[in-house]
């Protein structure tokens, strides 16, 4: 019953229904702003239904793309880039939080401030990277790689520049610091377990703190999915990848309502899919926290 409720809420309501309504709202906004005649709204709605049904009649007036091709471009470019970015974001936050909390522990328990001092330039570098706009880092990357830039490198640029990684690390560090003050964490730290300075692995102090913070970090991560999809869209446009971002720009440039509806719907669907994956992890691992977050 709980699983059915979860699927109904996350997959149907917040996934499919939200993507459909969001597409309808954005398309209506677009048609209104270009002063389209009333019959265009009905025509665009019909076209949207044809796309959903996978009909070959979809966008017959604009040959050169089909519903299948748009879905394939989303699946081949946008989705992997978004998933790679979110995994990278989690890894960066985990490493930053492990480094920071273990440095705090060493400084407060043993008076050893070497790690804290080492972290100062690292923090400054993270701040400076966060301030670099995404499109600048993408274009600088594109200068060397052209449109052959590897996905992991683009994902790293998406996370490290533009502030996503900085914000996620700050969120996790402040939560793990609060956990470190709890009695349980203090008792755990007396057991002589490894600190886990670089990665918060299970059985380490940072891993123990992370386990308490993850239920709050996962909803945070789910909330960052639209920002990641936005970053990926910019990357696709800058690197001229045949993904949804480029399709969207082409649609706006050519005033092709069919292509526009299809690419927006796919972007919102991918947004929902990535958020659904993160929330599924939360639901499976911490069901009570999921219910609290909802």
Judged by beta carbon, residue 105 or residue 170, the one nearer other proteins is 170
What span, in angstroms and rounded, lies between the C-alpha atoms of 271 and 230?
A: 9
Q: Which of residues 18-37 bind other proteins (CB under 8 A)?
A: 18, 22, 26, 29-30, 33-34
Judged by beta carbon, residue 128 or residue 285, the one nearer other proteins is 128
The answer to whether residue 48 forms part of the interface with other proteins (CB under 8 A) is no
Buried (b) or exposed (e) across 1-24, using 16+ Cβ within 10 A? eeeeebeeebbeebbeebbeebbb
Q: Give least dist CB 141 to other proteins, A.
A: 11
Question: Which residue in the block uniquely carries the two structure tokens 């790689």?
Answer: 145
What span, in angstroms and rounded, lies between the C-alpha atoms of 132 and 178?
A: 30
Helices (H), the chain: 2-6, 18-33, 38-53, 67-73, 79-110, 114-131, 134-145, 151-160, 164-180, 183-189, 205-223, 225-238, 244-254, 257-285, 287-293
The answer to whether residue 174 forms part of the interface with other proteins (CB under 8 A) is yes
User: Which tokens sit at 201?
Assistant: 């692995």
Q: Which of residues 223-262 bind other proteins (CB under 8 A)?
A: 223, 226-227, 229-230, 233-234, 237-238, 248-249, 252-253
CA angle 136/141/142 to nearest 5° reads 95
Q: Which of residues 147-166 bind other proteins (CB under 8 A)?
A: 162-163, 166
Site string for other proteins, 79-108 (x = CB under 8 A): ------------------------------
Judged by beta carbon, residue 134 or residue 259, the one nearer other proteins is 134
Site residues (vs other proteins, CB under 8 A): 14, 18, 22, 26, 29-30, 33-34, 127-128, 130-136, 139-140, 143, 162-163, 166, 170, 174, 223, 226-227, 229-230, 233-234, 237-238, 248-249, 252-253, 264, 267-268, 271, 275
């Amino acid at each position: 019953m709980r699983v059915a409720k979860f699927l109904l809420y996350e997959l149907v309501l917040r996934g499919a229904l939200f993507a459909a309504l969001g597409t309808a709202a954005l398309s209506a906004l677009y048609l209104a702003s270009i002063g389209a005649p009333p019959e265009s709204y009905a025509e665009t709605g019909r076209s949207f239904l044809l796309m959903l049904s996978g009909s070959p009649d979809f966008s017959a007036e604009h040959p050169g793309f089909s519903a299948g091709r748009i879905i394939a471009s989303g699946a081949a470019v946008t989705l992997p880039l978004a998933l790679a970015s979110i995994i990278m974001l989690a890894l960066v936050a985990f490493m930053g939080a492990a480094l920071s909390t273990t440095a705090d522990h060493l400084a407060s328990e043993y008076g050893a401030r070497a790690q804290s001092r080492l972290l100062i330039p690292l923090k400054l570098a993270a701040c400076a990277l966060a301030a670099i706009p995404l499109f600048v880092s993408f274009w600088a990357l594109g200068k060397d790689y052209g449109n052959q830039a590897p996905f992991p490198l683009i994902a790293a640029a998406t996370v490290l520049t533009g502030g996503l990684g900085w914000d996620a690390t700050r969120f996790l560090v402040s939560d793990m610091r609060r956990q470190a003050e709890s009695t349980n964490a203090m008792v755990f730290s007396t057991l002589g377990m490894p600190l886990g300075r670089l990665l918060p692995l299970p059985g380490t102090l940072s891993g123990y703190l992370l386990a308490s913070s993850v239920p709050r970090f996962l909803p945070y991560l789910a909330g960052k999915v639209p920002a990641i999809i936005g970053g990926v869209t910019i990357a696709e446009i800058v690197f001229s990848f045949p993904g949804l971002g480029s399709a969207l720009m082409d649609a706006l440039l050519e005033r092709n309502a069919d292509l526009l509806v299809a690419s927006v719907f796919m972007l919102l669907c991918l947004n929902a899919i990535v958020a659904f994956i993160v929330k599924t992890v939360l639901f499976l691992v911490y069901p009570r926290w999921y219910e609290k977050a909802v």
